[in-house]
Structure 1
Amino acid sequence: MTLRLIAFAALLTPAPLLAQDLTPAETAKIDTLVRSTLADTGVPSASIAVVRGGRLVLAKAYGKASEAIPVARADLPYQIASISKQFTATAMQLLEDDGKLKLDDTVATYIPGITGGDRITLRQLLSHTSGLQDYWPQDYSFAAMATPVTPQQIVDRWAKKPLDFEPGTKWQYSNTGYVVAGMIVEKVAGMPLIDFLQARVFRPLGMAAMDQDLAIGPRYPQGYKRFALGPVRVETPAARGWLYAAGELSMSAADLAKWDIARMNRTLLPADDWAEQETAVKLTDGTTNGYGLGIGNNRRLDHRTLEHSGEAVGFLSQNIVFPDDKAAIVVLTNSWFSDAYGRITRGLAEIVLPKAAAATSEDAAALTKARRVYDQLRRGGLDRAALTTDANFYFTPAAQADYRTSLAPLGEPTGFVATGKPSLRGGFVQRGFRVTYPKQSLWISTFAEPGSDGRFEQFLVTPGE
């Protein structure tokens, strides 16, 4: 039964979009989307990349990159900020592959003096579950950021405070944890983090990445700010060192797309490293918010996503991979005062991703019937007239009791939708449904007799993503 359910779940997964260029109409929609968003928000520029069918099909920049570069170019390196975290995580994984460390080692094994260092693991640094206080929670540059800083100075000021919680018990975004991670990489590798990444990641993939502290000046994009609805102003960059390991990289959207393609194709790194990054880390109570090691595992437009956003001083960015669709979207902007990067990302996804077929009246009726039976199961009182003889045999009193006692505590679903397309099997119509709750989702696998009055031959509920 387990294998059949796995096969059925695979059947419901959207087929990867065939490798194809954007049509002229799609390109025109993208141009309109980006230009209108920049005009509406006042954001000076955006650089985007689109991967479709596993290959780059668009890399384009719009607007003004800086006062010295009035026309943005697609080859310019924008600051990607916290999108960098997945690269720091990768560096640690590569060192583990080399046999030089283990992600379940404690921090104290490598760096002394950090609060809780004898209990915090390297994995907890990468998953934001260490309890170390974040040194930069603000969405602006605080006073100290005008002065250069070293990783050790950040550690001395923030990583030696009392922990905000016991390691592994809660999730709290912590740039401090990534500074510690970067220091450990450098100590174990015997070289700067950026040099290690150049040798092991960027050069092998043909990526022109650089330290964002060096991507400042007349040859590079400039960050912008805005106070409320006032004029758009040039932002003053942070002094050197403040984004170390937690957000230190600058690159073009096209170069970041090369990394996304490696992720979806499982190249460069061993497949189990990619999977480890993307697996949501669970807290000690068994819950998770979907974050793995430097990247989040979520859903958008009913598509599975692997994603991270970034905020540097004067820059906002978004990077999303749709692994089941062999697609990816990169949006880099040079402002930190609007949701332009989010609006562009959502609009691109609606243009680029495969479109679901419009639901028929039969689909709508099947959805209503499935929801009715699901509600009966979670509340008790199953209508056996809606089931075939075999389905009635399956739903013994014990089965009904387990369904009710396990589903009732979840409360009212926040979503109930059909997944994939119906198909025929064994004389029955096979359909799938997803039930969502705030902290989890469930899959429903059904077989039903053809026709609007068809009874259910199968109605199985299993844990979802």
Structure 2
Amino acid sequence: MNCFWSAPLLVSLLGAPPELPKSFDLTAVDTYIAGQVKAKGFVGLSVAVMRDGKIVFAKGYGQRSIEKNLPVEPGTSFAVGSITKQFTCACVLLLAEQGKLSIDDPVSKYYPNLTRAKDITLRDLMNHTAGYPDYYPLDFVDRRMLKPISTDALLKEYAGGKLDFEPGARFSYSNTGYILLGGVVEKVSGASFGTFVETRLLKPLKMEHARFGSSAGLSAATGYTAFALGAPEPAEPEAGGWIDAAGGLWASASDLLQWDLALTTGKVLKPESYKVMTAPRTLTTGKVSNYACGLQIATVDGNTVLEHTGGVSGFVSANTFIPRARTGIVVLSNTEHVSTSKLRGELFRLLLKDVEARDVPPVPKVAGVGPKEAVLGLIEEMTGGKVDRTKLGEEYSVYLTDERVKTGGARLKALGAPEKVEVRGTYERGGMEVATVILTYKTATVRALLYRTPDGKIQQLLYYAE
């Protein structure tokens, strides 16, 4: 059960999918996803999008059950695998806020018989820097995991032997550490891990389609797998005890976006705890790991992005969120043999493009004629030797002396009439409309940069040789 799980790409035998939209237009995106589900052979898919703190898109595609011919609906719950880890870390930090533990407590305080328990902290477990071997490094359920196992037995087997590396020296993804964290939560809280998660996180946040450990009572998807491009068949789930605090959560796509918003806006943890949860880890070697506590921290086009993927038997998931914009996307699939990586990457880039576009100040609406007409009008006045200064801003009118009108007008007149005039684009600066106008003459090309205030007055018109 890897954090960055990726199944082999299924070769489409169902025809070419529709083209990716050029913007995050919800209707076009819906059509694109539906086409991808059909073309790539997904059994089922659920996608939800949040913009500015509001869920603006939540839709299911394909089937949650082939055998029962049931569709994926917006409220369908999926096993979300390793996305569970951020909930596990939040539980640990909540207990730390109550003074019941410290994330720098040594493992020996709770499990004294484990390897190097005095040298490994809870923080190491959350950051995947403890060195305990991962009990689930593969992407299929092997014979071990078909039989139930207790937490103590799992930890004795996988945290009671040789370490993979010195504690704190490396990042290496390990589900073992998260099973251990779940055990710590139980010992400290006196409740089962599932009860603690549900009473402290899922119910208060009204995650109505979320449960821990079991999909009982939910409208849940069945997980499917296939081998070597074969037909999908129900996947054999991991037996009891094998995923728990490392990957035992069920949720809908919208549930996870509600979680993202609550976590990043201070409704789950205190500011100092959230800072810990999202802080990259500096290793003993001086190298920095961008895996914080149950979250991968990335910087994309200047935006901090919180993300995590998940994979358990029959399911893959991805949760990506941009805290400053309160915007994110969740993609859940019950088809472990078809990769969602390309699709979710494409959708996230479109969403990020939308976020960036909303950051750009709108171009002011300017009274009067358009940029092309304004430039040609002033050029005509200059070549005629007389300018209507009521159309000019005060400073530009002072700058545009009679001498400049005379000499500049003569040079422009010598070029003759432009053969082509093109507005290359407009943007906002200082509350003004800025327009670039390209004038193509027989013997020269001139770039005119026009600044106008909303009242239509020209505050600048300068000319540059192209």
Asked if the contact 1:37/1:340 (under 8 Å) is kept, the reply is no
**1:48 CA drift (Å):** 1.5
**SS of 1:328 mapped into structure 2:** strand
**SS of 1:140 mapped into structure 2:** coil
CA distance in 2, matches of 1:345, 1:73: 22
Matches within 5 A, 1:6-405: 26-66=25-65, 67-208=67-208, 210-211=210-211, 213-215=213-215, 219-300=219-300, 303-340=303-340, 342-351=342-351, 353-356=354-357
**SS of 2:243 mapped into structure 1:** coil
Deviation readout 1:161-187 (Å, 9 max, x if unpaired): 111011100000000000001000100
The 10-residue stretch of structure 1 (28-37 or 341-350) with the greater mean CA deviation from structure 2: 341-350
**SS of 1:136 mapped into structure 2:** coil
Asked if the contact 2:210/2:255 (under 8 Å) is kept, the reply is no
Asked if the contact 1:317/1:341 (under 8 Å) is kept, the reply is no
Taking every aligned residue pair, what percent have the same amino acid on both sides? 33
**SS of 1:65 mapped into structure 2:** strand
CA distance in 1, matches of 2:334, 2:127: 27
Amino acid at match of 2:305: T
Deviation readout 1:243-264 (Å, 9 max, x if unpaired): 1100010011111111111123
**1:337 CA drift (Å):** 1.4
The 10-residue stretch of structure 1 (212-221 or 247-256) with the greater mean CA deviation from structure 2: 212-221
**SS of 1:246 mapped into structure 2:** helix
Over 3 Å counting, the alpha-carbon distance change for 1:196 and 1:75 in structure 2 is same
CA distance in 1, matches of 2:174, 2:146: 21
Deviation readout 1:93-114 (Å, 9 max, x if unpaired): 0000010100001000111211
**1:218 CA drift (Å):** 9.9
Over 3 Å counting, the alpha-carbon distance change for 1:187 and 1:28 in structure 2 is same
Over 3 Å counting, the alpha-carbon distance change for 1:139 and 1:322 in structure 2 is same
**SS of 2:355 mapped into structure 1:** coil
**SS of 1:155 mapped into structure 2:** helix
CA distance in 1, matches of 2:428, 2:72: 46
**SS of 1:108 mapped into structure 2:** helix
**SS of 1:166 mapped into structure 2:** coil
**SS of 1:229 mapped into structure 2:** coil
TM-score, structure 1 normalization:
0.69
Asked if the contact 2:83/2:309 (under 8 Å) is kept, the reply is yes
Over 3 Å counting, the alpha-carbon distance change for 1:111 and 1:39 in structure 2 is same
**1:334 CA drift (Å):** 0.4
Q: What is the CA RMSD across the aligned residues, in angstroms?
A: 2.8
**1:208 CA drift (Å):** 2.7
Matches within 5 A, 1:432-451: none
Corresponding residue of 2:6: none
CA distance in 1, matches of 2:52, 2:209: 24
CA distance in 1, matches of 2:248, 2:97: 23
Amino acid at match of 1:284: T
Deviation readout 1:373-400 (Å, 9 max, x if unpaired): xxxxxxxxxxxxxxxxxxxxxxxxxxxx
Asked if the contact 1:68/1:218 (under 8 Å) is kept, the reply is no
**1:356 CA drift (Å):** 4.8
**1:217 CA drift (Å):** 9.9
Amino acid at match of 1:85: K
Asked if the contact 2:77/2:218 (under 8 Å) is kept, the reply is no
Deviation readout 1:234-281 (Å, 9 max, x if unpaired): 211121221110001001111111111112322232122222111111
**1:51 CA drift (Å):** 0.7
Amino acid at match of 2:205: L
Structure 1, gaps ≥5 residues long: 1-23, 360-420, 425-450, 454-465
CA distance in 2, matches of 1:248, 1:259: 16
**1:345 CA drift (Å):** 4.6
Over 3 Å counting, the alpha-carbon distance change for 1:175 and 1:238 in structure 2 is same
Q: Which has the larger radius of gyration?
A: 2
Corresponding residue of 1:10: none
Asked if the contact 2:129/2:170 (under 8 Å) is kept, the reply is yes
